Structure 1
Amino acid sequence: MSTTSIFLFLFSSLFIFLTTHSKSIPHITSPYLSPATISANYDAMVKNFKIFIYKPNPPFTFDSPVQSLFYTTLLDSDLATNNTDEAHLFFVPFPPDLTTRSVARLIRTIRSEFPYWNRTLGADHFYLSCAGIGYESDRNLVELKKNSIQISCFPTPDGKFIPHKDITLPSLASSHAPTSNASRFLGYVRSNWVKESTLVNELRTNPEFLVESEPSTPRIYAERLSSSKFCLFEYGGGDISGIAEALRFGCVPVVIADRPIQDLPFMDVLRWQEMALFVGKSGGAKKLKRLLVRACWERHDQMRGLGMAAGHHLAWNAPPQSFDAFHTLIYQLWLRRHTIRYVRRESA
């Protein structure tokens, strides 16, 4: 067989492979799980949603900037009401350093001084705790943990998040805009994103990957996000808080984890499975690169487009804007406004 024939055969085989696989990937244009209903539901929320906020005594401030921003924005919003008859949900604020015993005492006080908790055993209440609340034997903490909506920081420590009930806060993102949209690297690994040293060492010698040894400035960070096709994160080991920022800047997140992730921000609103890759820890750099190259052929552009379309939902603004991180979080609360009582977890 001549060289030309071999070339044509290989080209035809590659064309058939790409064509066949591209047809197997559905063309998705919306980043939403329910694109047909989200607009109407959001409009109803803006028009009707009301939240009663218990007054903390004494007043306090949150130690996390994203928690503080959410709290102050809620206090200043039209959502807050002093009319408990029109309230859909009740917010229980307490200091981040409050002991579990003190939290239990707070719920006991709310139970005895107000009639609202006992109507649903706290299922129409929510609270803000960056680290989350664990399982305790005290009745007040059990009802708080099992019935009330927890808003925590992402990622939440293992065992302190209940899927389909609890919510996580997207991290505060960089305000720097990217200066280039040209992809120069297949993958980007920031110094604190992946702790698995063997994988990082293998990627460091590959010129298709940008492995950052030291933290970069916000502007350089934005440029590296926008010039990379994929951004690598390790769930449970590295710092995964930058995943929302990667989406906003057009770098498709690759999350390395050996178990399903259930506490991603806005999981009941956004199509995370269509905007990010989730891969296991086994296989090393060769397997990872093979998966990324295949994803480039099959659906990288679609994933990047969906991620950037969802980006404004993950951005915090002051003052808040329509459907930004604050309003998307409030929208998740709106979806949970129908009270649900959870059965107490039986001890092993």
Structure 2
Amino acid sequence: MVTQTKNAELLQTISVTLNNNSTRDSISTLKRWERSTSMSQMNSLLIHSLVYSHSMRPQRLYVRDRELLSAKLEIENAPRVDNPPGLYAYAFRNISMFKRSYELMERMLKVYVYKEGEKPIFHNSKMRGIYASEGWFMKLIEGNKKFVVRDPRKAHLFYLPFSPHMLRVAMFDRNSHNQKELAEFLKNYVDLVAKKYSFWNRTAGTDHFLVGCHDWASQLTRHHMRNCIRVLCNSNVAKGFKIGKDTTLPVTYIRSAENPLKELGGKPPSERPILAFFAGNMHGYVRPILLEFWENKEPDMKILGPMSRDNAGKRRYREYMKRSKYCICARGYEVHTPRVVESIFYECVPVIISDNYVPPLFEVLNWEAFSVFIQEKDIPNLRNILLSIPEEKYVAMHMGVKKVQQHFLWHKKPVKYDLFHMILHSVWYNRVFQMESK
């Protein structure tokens, strides 16, 4: 009831604001930051990060450092390939570099997983729910024999196996700790690792990485773990997410740990009569504005509020996604949303309305080949923007969604190019390009 009251009050406030001011001004008033970073600006930041290393150079190069530098040189000079088997070239920034980098990762990469830390915060894999990406990656990396080594001296990367979600559940809910205290808990863990091993101090943590899907993960790790490669769902470039160092963890809402691929797929383009679909709770400031403009306004725009969470409601939600050309992925309280991966799962072209959100696998994927980005201020023009997209371009984006789908799927036993491997590749890729040549 409290949530419903707050949402109603927010809708009323937004309605009054929209009637009295321009849309651009009203949205700016509700935003938490001053400026938005466009997709072209994010692309420029990525290119800059590849050219100019941000890593702390160790006093001397170790064997593993030299191996990474060698890999960097091979990737930069990758032989040209146009249409490699198993990959959709148009969905990649540079298919030749990706293919070479992935091959080198498979051949070379070694990861050390710290044994320190106790359950439920460490080494504890939760495989269902909205934060399941944390658990799936942890489960699969800790059980991996190809990449994981027992001898840390053989490792190129070091994984800090904690769950930000479980940290919040275990400490915050029980003892009402604030974020500062949770961050201090992680600092003590880092101090333990740094005291016991030499590897953290050698690079100030730049060859270490963490994986966190909880909203708070970016805040909890921004100080004591700031040099690590942070794999975060909450990838907000306006709030400390570093393109080219950090990488985005896809939000994958897993409903069945036994069958994570259940209901996979959707209708072909000719059997998608709905132009755009959205349904969800009124988290944050964008979604109420979306509904204010588009709920019950056009027959081909199915823009809804919360849907029933029973089986019938979930089935109706899936069918909307499977029968819509475009699925609206509007930010909630934070920039990320599970709808991005859900759209790909159900073969619906994602329409991402979330300023400053860095999409998953940004280092290697050309998102504009299979999705649409709309700035929050342009919500009033949403339908016109979508209708202006030529049919042949929509069909090409739909094909792109189907082709990249393999990169966003969890498998109980990882397969080539799946989400486990693609996340690991992004960590590897960012670390390789942090290396400075002498």
Pick the TM interval, shorter chain.
0.7 to 0.9
Amino acid at match of 2:117: N
The percentage of counterpart residues that share the same residue type is 21
Partner of residue 52 from structure 1, selected from 81, 105, 112: 112
State the 1:241 CA deviation.
Answer: 1.6
Query: What does residue range 255-334 of structure 1 map to in structure 2 within 5 Å?
Result: 255-257=352-354, 259-262=355-358, 264-285=359-380, 287-297=381-391, 299-334=393-428
Of 269, 275, 292 in structure 2, the residue corresponding to residue 186 of structure 1 is 275
What TM-score do you get using the length of structure 2 for normalisation? 0.63
Native 8 Å contact 1:188 1:224 kept in 2? yes
Residues 247 and 304 in structure 1, CA contact (< 8 A), matched pair in contact too: no
How many residues in Structure 1 have an aligned counterpart in Structure 2? 307
Q: Match for 2:344: what amino acid?
A: L
> Does the 8 Å CA contact 1:154/1:171 hold for their aligned counterparts?
no
Look up the SS of the partner of 2:280 in the other structure.
coil
Cα distance between partner residues in 1 of 2:379 and 2:399: 28
Question: Which residue number corresponds to residue 144 of structure 1?
Answer: 225
Match status 1:74 vs 2:141: yes
Aligned pair 1:171/2:251, yes or no? yes
In structure 2, do the counterparts of structure 1 residues 300 and 180 end up closer, same or farther at CA, with 3 Å as the change threshold?
closer
Alpha-carbon separation, structure 2, partners of 1:156 and 1:241: 15
Q: Which residue of 2 aligns with 1:211?
A: 303
Q: Which has the higher helix share?
A: 2
Deviates more, 1:85-94 or 1:204-213: 204-213
The aligned residue for residue 7 of structure 1 is none
Of 229, 232, 249, the residue aligned with 2:346 is 249
* Contact 2:235 2:241 survives alignment (8 Å): no
Q: Residues of 2 paired with 1:101 and 1:49: CA distance?
A: 31
Structure 1 residues 109 and 35 mapped into 2: Cα distance closer, same or farther (>3 Å)?
A: same
Measured in 2, the distance between the counterparts of 1:127 and 1:222 equals: 32
With over 3 angstroms needed to count, the CA separation of the structure-2 counterparts of 1:327 and 1:321, relative to structure 1, is: same
Q: What residue is the counterpart of 1:106 in the other structure?
A: 189
**CA displacement at 1:158 relative to structure 2:** 6.0
Alignment of 1:31-46 (within 5 A): 31-46=91-106
2:182 matched to 1:85?
no
Q: Distance in 1 between matches of 2:379 and 2:357?
A: 21
**5+ residue gaps in structure 1?**
1-27, 343-348
- Per-residue deviation at 1:274? 2.2
- RMSD of aligned residue pairs (Cα, Å): 2.8
State the distance in 2 between where 1:220 and 1:320 align.
Answer: 30
AA paired with 1:279? I
**CA 1:198/1:82 → structure 2, altered by over 3 Å: closer, same or farther?**
closer
Q: Which runs of 5+ in 2 are unaligned?
A: 1-87, 172-181, 254-260
Deviation at 1:297, TM superposition (A): 3.9
Q: Which has the larger radius of gyration?
A: 1
2:319 to 183, 200, 223: 223
Q: Give yes or no for contact 1:180–1:227 (8 Å, CA) kept in 2.
A: yes
| Residue 294 (structure 1) shift | 0.8
CA distance in 2, matches of 1:62, 1:240: 21
Q: Which amino acid aligns with 2:101?
A: N
Offset of residue 85 of structure 1: 2.3
Judge conservation of contact 1:193–1:240 (CA < 8 Å) in 2: no
Q: Distance in 2 between matches of 1:191 and 1:132?
A: 23
Give the C-alpha shift of residue 314 in structure 1. 0.9
Measure, in 1, the Cα distance between the counterparts of 2:313 and 2:157: 41
C-alpha distance after superposition, 1:234-273 (max 9, x if no partner) = 235587221122123221111224x3422x1110121112
